[in-house]
Structure 1
Amino acid sequence: MTIKGILFDKDGTLVDFNRTWHAIGDQLALEAAGGDRDKADNLMDLAGYDFSTRRFRPDSVFAAGTNADIVALWYPDIAPRLRKGLVERFDSFTANEGALRAVPLEGVLDALAALHGKGYRMAVATNDSTAGASQTLLMLGISHMFVAAYGYDAVARPKPAPDTVQAFCDLTGLKPREVAMVGDNRHDLEMARAAGAGLAVAVLSGTGTRERLEPMADAVLNSVVDLPAYLAG
């Protein structure tokens, strides 16, 4: 097997999920709750924030879903004609704030530079918006290493559907078996399997746990820092 391209999830894989997203989620929850602190906390819990551990739960709506999923969860009774505008507002807000607040995981930027230097074609596959992914790469100073950034709104069906892998292959000319998908949640690995990707690599740097990820992964690494050595081996 020869891996020539790598798709990376963003939050929890390249970016520290909790340090980047808790304050953003809390601000949106307070808005949805009309400023009611208790109600906002309930919304955060509903979306997957565990107040006992102060971390987001694996595969929760906040950890793995899209802004459209969060809007549907927090605003279940909103009129369809207003839903689209609210999702667009979430996309805009999270794109700007997510990029400004993005905290890269330790050692990941150096690992990406090493992989880029080896000639791997790299892209981001996230259930954040495409604008959010692109702006984060720019803010981190690594956009030149990536050939594309795919958000949930860049394809007909976001993760765990195979569409993003297929779009990456269409862009690069690679075959799915030449692509590794790297992520911290089950939907990343489910997408890899659905697309016939060559490798499904789980990392433990985000919200996912070894117990949930290992059954679906070809490899479980502590973080992207371990990826260059793994691929070289």
Structure 2
Amino acid sequence: MPVIKGILFDKDGTLVDFQATWFAIGDLMALQAAGGDRANANTLMEAAGYDYEKHCFRADSVFAAGTNADIVALWYPDLSPAERQAKVNFFDTFTAEEGAAQSVALPGSKEAVASLHSRGFRIGLATNDSTGGAEKTLLALGIAQMFDAAYGYDAVANPKPAPDSIYAFSDLTGLKPSEIAMVGDNRHDLEMAKAGGALAIGVLSGTGTRESLMPLADVVLNSIADLPAYLTDQV
């Protein structure tokens, strides 16, 4: 295996506690889409991937892995293209502010990023959130200065699972894709890694399960807290 010199992290479920951060935000979005109707809002949340019996988002669901554009397409199927784009823009602004304000770092995630940064790894973020939301969250967590770049779905021509963010990070850092690890909790993250020629590292700290991640992952870790030790062992 080539020596890994750069790491692209997914955000929600990898750096940030997805369930703790996003249920309240998603619920507010669904209530607005439902015109304040509680039962209809619950139906919309279920369609987007929330399991009310298990109190969590389903792996690889629209809310867990998709973009705001995917959510708008699901919840507002009858909007015109212009109306749909306006709604996407509204949700991008809303989730950027609220996602940063409500963000809960996963245990050990900030320490892992700091450790890897101190060892000279180039570090980036690749998310299907908006770029503004990603940057605001990194600032809120106090780790923005350790990241070379943040790529939201609106920063590249094609979001995850397309490999555009890997190529952009490769161009920025001068690293080959094979020298980059993509770390995430959903199949979208690992599909992007495979498509772009990067190392695919799955983590169990988000909505993905070992069963859902193993077929695509080069390795599955409990969380990114285990990543510094894993990369030390690869040298």
> TM-score category by the smaller chain?
over 0.9
Structure-1 residue corresponding to 2:86: 85
- Corresponding position of 1:155: 156
User: Are 1:216 and 2:186 an aligned pair?
Assistant: no
* Structure 1: unaligned runs, 5 residues or longer: none
Matches within 5 A, 1:1-233: 1-197=2-198, 199-233=199-233
Quote the Cα distance in structure 1 between the aligned partners of 2:108 and 2:213: 22
Question: Displacement, 1:134?
Answer: 0.2
How far apart in 1 are the matches of 2:81 and 2:124? 33
User: Residues 61-85 of structure 1: CA distance to partner in whole angstroms, max 9, x if unpaired?
Assistant: 0000000000000000011121111
Shift of 1:41: 0.1
Residue identity over aligned pairs, in percent, reads: 69
Distance in 2 between residues matched to 1:23 and 1:201, nearest whole Å: 28
Alpha-carbon distance between aligned partners in 1 of 2:208 and 2:106, rounded to the nearest angstrom? 15
Distance 1:225 1:84 in 2: 38
Q: CA deviation at 1:183?
A: 0.1
Displacement after TM superposition at 1:216 (Å): 0.6
SS at match of 1:180: strand
Render the CA deviation track for 1:134-164: whole Å, top value 9, x for unaligned. 0000011100000000000000000000100
Output the CA distance in 1 between the equivalents of 2:144 and 2:13: 18
- In structure 2, C-alpha distance between the alignment counterparts of 1:227 and 1:80, rounded to whole Å: 42
1: CA distance between counterparts of 2:27 and 2:49? 12
5+ long unaligned stretches in structure 2:
none
Determine helix, strand or coil for the equivalent of 2:154: helix
Separation in 2, partners of 1:79, 1:156: 22
CA distance in 2, matches of 1:83, 1:60: 20
State TM-score, norm by structure 2: 0.98
Q: For residues 159-202 of structure 1, what are the alpha-carbon distances to aligned partners after superposition, in whole Å with 9 as ceiling and x for unaligned? A: 000100000001111100000000000010000000011x1000
Count of residues paired in the alignment: 232
CA distance in 2, matches of 1:80, 1:178: 40
Q: Give the Cα separation in 1 of the matches to 2:137 and 2:81.
A: 30
Counterparts of 1:161 and 1:107, CA distance in 2: 29
2:183 counterpart SS class: strand
CA distance in 2, matches of 1:117, 1:201: 20
